[in-house]
A = this chain, B = another copy of it.
């Protein structure tokens, strides 16, 4: 059967384990879903490249290949710029010593913007802007999650004035409702999206009221991007994990299990029948230590177990993980029967958190939407 011999499932039966499997058809469906949703609002989608860290994935996310894109490290910016992406927002608060790399990218033709929320950072940007005005977005805190200024903080206008007076380019405001990962249900997520929108728009209005420019109003997280009902005043939306989805997103109700495009291929290497355990060769070095579902109503352990074709096996999860060992078992309380999984059986594990699991690997083994043998897409890493 020559067709069978080059199918992804056939390839997965002979691939090295553990390896990171990407289902391109699911990914394309996820990309289209958010693109189509945001087409109903008058906003730009600026996908976050921190999830996939892949040129091949970026090409499928970015409409024209040049952007707009969001990154979490300058390494991502440098790798994507080398691949033709020219409109990039570096969405982590500036460490002043990075301004040299920022200016080097800008001098090479990348429209790289940065974010900050303190006068000290603004003064560093002003000093560096002598070589060319650096575009800056002011970071707004919409939910107490981590960084940013509250929209009514007088420091917001003061920092804006430092930038404008000093010759930097004040481009707008940016916020991320990271706490949206901890609320459940469509109405609660929609309320969070409104909180995010309102904070960003209020900050933009405060800047404008002080005579400062604020062309960009950037909001976003995967949950709020999928459940926002009103984006008035917003110019762009950012989202990252939407491209692959994961068990945390499924637990929040943002996606279903069969939307999750990423899984870890593993091999059965042992059994402890007295304990109902199957031992596999994917431990936390493959899955990551992320236990993002631990605080959700359904704790998925280190991941949901699927057969090699990607079909979830009832109530089977990775209960424990050591560095190179995973312990597969029935979910506590389940009355389903542990399936027979002989030594050498291939399984696929859906991850808690796609960003964290992806980072454990140097690349993807891709089941292409068009069919045919698995492709290999490299990932970049580091800072």
Report A's interface with B, CB cutoff 8 A: 14, 16-19, 50, 72-73, 92-97, 117-118, 120-121, 124, 139, 141, 144, 146-147, 178, 267, 269-272, 275, 277, 279, 281, 284-286, 288-291, 320, 322-325, 327, 342-344, 353, 355-356, 359-362, 381-383
Of the candidates B92, B269, B382, which one forms a contact with A281 in the assembled complex, judged by CB atoms under 8 Å apart?
B92
Q: Which single residue of chain B is at the shortest CB-CB distance from A281? A: B95
**B93 and A285 within 8 A (CB):** no
**A92 and B269 within 8 A (CB):** yes
> Which chain B positions have C-beta within 8 A of A18?
383
**A94 and B269 within 8 A (CB):** yes
Chain B proximity of A104: nearest CB distance (Å)? 14
Q: Which single residue of chain B is at the shortest CB-CB distance from A269? A: B93
28 intermolecular pairs with C-beta atoms under 8 Å apart = A16-B97, A17-B95, A17-B97, A18-B383, A92-B281, A93-B269, A93-B270, A93-B279, A93-B325, A95-B267, A95-B269, A95-B281, A117-B270, A118-B343, A120-B343, A121-B343, A124-B343, A146-B320, A146-B327, A147-B270, A284-B290, A285-B359, A286-B383, A289-B290, A289-B356, A359-B360, A361-B382, A362-B381
**A279 and B95 within 8 A (CB):** no
Q: How many copies does the complex hold?
A: 2
> Which chain B positions have C-beta within 8 A of A146?
272, 277, 279, 320, 322, 325, 327
**A120 and B356 within 8 A (CB):** no
The 3 A-B residue pairs whose C-beta atoms are closest, nearest first, are A289-B289, A120-B343, A93-B269
Chain B proximity of A322: nearest CB distance (Å)? 6
Contact A279/B50 with A97-B344, A343-B121 known, Cβ cut-off 8 Å: no
A311 to B128: give the CA distance in the assembly, Å: 33
A381 to B178: give the CA distance in the assembly, Å: 31
**B50 and A383 within 8 A (CB):** no
> Which chain B positions have C-beta within 8 A of A271?
118
> Which chain B positions have C-beta within 8 A of A97?
14, 16-17, 267, 344
**A92 and B381 within 8 A (CB):** no
Of the candidates B267, B279, B284, B342, which one forms a contact with A147 in the assembled complex, judged by CB atoms under 8 Å apart?
B279
Apart from the given pairs A73-B324, A323-B356, 11 other A-B contacts in the complex at a CB distance below 8 Å: A14-B97, A50-B323, A50-B324, A92-B325, A124-B343, A144-B275, A147-B272, A289-B353, A289-B356, A359-B360, A361-B382
